[in-house]
């Protein structure tokens, strides 16, 4: 059974602005939690999906996958949440539970197909899933996470995507004391990557195309800032253990492959629409890797939230109201945000 007339904000077409919509949510099952959504971050993936830049978007679409709120109902089989708890929902709201990856807590790699929080086939209610630009959400208890009380709720929302997207590869490639880490780009992903890598006690070099961002990179914690358009500065770089590439536009990755140490890895977490050419000698010489990483599992998402609470890390945000979302999408397209838009979903009620 579904609950009708939930207020939401989405669109019916790629070229149309987002507007007020009414959607349905399923009723709370014995294994579900219902969350009143307080804040939802805006990710570049939301923009890609809404404008069908990757293809395959089904309309109407309600985006949003950096969801923070408060539990308002729980099913009678739920033990890990109670009414009143602060809770979050990221990208994944279901998976098969049975494959090796799901059992290992890596639901992002579910062999049988996970369910994304929006625009994914809804195995339970039919149709497609709707995201966090809405009043409430109902999810299986295993796909919600606890938001530490010490975090500012609005600026914690981006940890549900941006935070886990950079934390997961840092953990996988064993970033820590004595490691030399590069971060390409100072945006929604890059700025929080700087904070997390420094909290892991790595030496952090930031690569940017904008000299004006150098001071801000240092404020965020970078040990060194390199202007990537300056050939002399780039030539002076070498022996990085890992470089995290957060850029979602076409760029030359070979410049960064060249400055990795032997067995170093360039790890892509940005999502450029166009292919990125790789020179064979740039990976063969030095046994280097050009890799990628995709968000993280639910267990690791809880881990990064707890890590950020300990180290007092949140995103630098611009808090907006629902009626500012279309303007925010246009500004995001132009790179005009420092560094993450977060929507006050309470404004949806007005």
Residues 143 and 208 reside in one and the same domain:
no
SS3 296: coil
CATH number at residue 258: 3.40.50.720
Residues 20 and 154 reside in one and the same domain:
yes
CATH number at residue 136: 3.90.180.10
Residues 273 and 224 reside in one and the same domain:
yes
Is residue 205 a part of any domain in this protein?
yes
Residue pLDDT, tens place only, 222-259: 999 999 999 999 999 999 999 999 998 889 999 999 99
List the Cα angle 95/171/277 in 5-degree steps. 85
Residues 122 and 177 reside in one and the same domain:
no
CA proximity to 173, closest of 243, 125, 239: 243
Residues 136 and 262 reside in one and the same domain:
no
Residues 32 and 142 reside in one and the same domain:
yes
Residue pLDDT, tens place only, 53-85: 888 999 999 999 999 999 999 999 999 999 999
Q: Residue with structure tokens 């050939």? A: 231
Residue pLDDT, tens place only, 270-326: 988 789 999 999 999 999 999 999 999 999 999 999 999 999 999 999 999 999 999
CA 185 to chain centroid, in Å, comes to 15
* pLDDT score for 271: 85
The number of domains in the chain is: 2
What secondary structure letter does DSSP report for 180? E
Bridge partners, 260 (sequence order): 240
Mean pLDDT of 178-196: 96
CA proximity to 208, closest of 283, 222, 199, 154: 222
Is residue 309 a part of any domain in this protein?
no
What secondary structure letter does DSSP report for 160? G
Residues 196 and 67 reside in one and the same domain:
no
Model confidence at 1: pLDDT above 70: no
Residues 71 and 131 reside in one and the same domain:
yes
Residues 239 and 325 reside in one and the same domain:
no
Range of the domain at 276: 162-292
Residues 188 and 254 reside in one and the same domain:
yes
């Amino acid at each position: 059974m579904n609950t009708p007339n939930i207020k939401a904000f989405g669109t019916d077409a790629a070229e149309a602005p987002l507007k007020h919509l009414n959607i349905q949510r399923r009723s709370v099952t014995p294994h579900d939690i219902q969350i009143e959504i307080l804040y939802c971050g805006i990710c570049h993936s939301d923009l890609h999906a809404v404008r069908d830049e990757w293809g395959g978007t089904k309309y109407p679409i309600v985006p949003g996958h950096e969801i923070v709120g408060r539990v308002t109902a729980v099913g009678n089989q739920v033990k890990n949440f109670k009414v009143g708890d602060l809770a979050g929902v990221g990208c994944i709201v279901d998976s098969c539970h049975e494959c090796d990856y799901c059992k290992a807590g890596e639901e992002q790699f579910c062999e049988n197909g996970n369910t994304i929080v929006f625009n994914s086939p809804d195995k339970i209610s039919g149709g497609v899933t709707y995201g966090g630009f809405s009043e409430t959400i109902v999810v299986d208890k295993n796909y919600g996470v606890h938001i530490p009380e010490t975090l500012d709720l609005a600026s914690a929302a981006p940890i549900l995507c941006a935070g886990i997207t950079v934390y997961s590869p840092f953990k996988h490639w064993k970033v820590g004391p004595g490691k030399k880490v590069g971060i390409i780009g100072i945006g929604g992903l890059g700025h929080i990557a700087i904070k997390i890598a420094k909290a892991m006690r790595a030496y952090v070099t930031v690569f940017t195309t904008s000299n004006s961002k150098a001071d801000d990179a240092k404020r965020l914690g970078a040990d060194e800032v390199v202007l990537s358009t300056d050939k002399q500065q780039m030539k002076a770089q070498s022996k990085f253990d890992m470089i995290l590439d957060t850029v979602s536009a076409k760029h030359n990755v070979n410049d960064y492959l060249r400055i990795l140490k032997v067995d170093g890895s360039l790890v892509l977490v940005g999502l450029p629409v166009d292919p990125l050419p790789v020179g064979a000698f740039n990976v063969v010489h030095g046994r280097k890797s050009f890799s990628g990483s995709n968000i993280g599992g639910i267990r690791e998402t809880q881990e990064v939230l707890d890590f950020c609470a300990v180290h007092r890390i949140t995103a630098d945000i611009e808090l907006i109201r629902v009626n500012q979302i279309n303007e925010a999408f246009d500004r995001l397209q132009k790179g005009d945000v420092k560094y993450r838009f977060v929507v006050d979903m309470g404004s949806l009620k007005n």
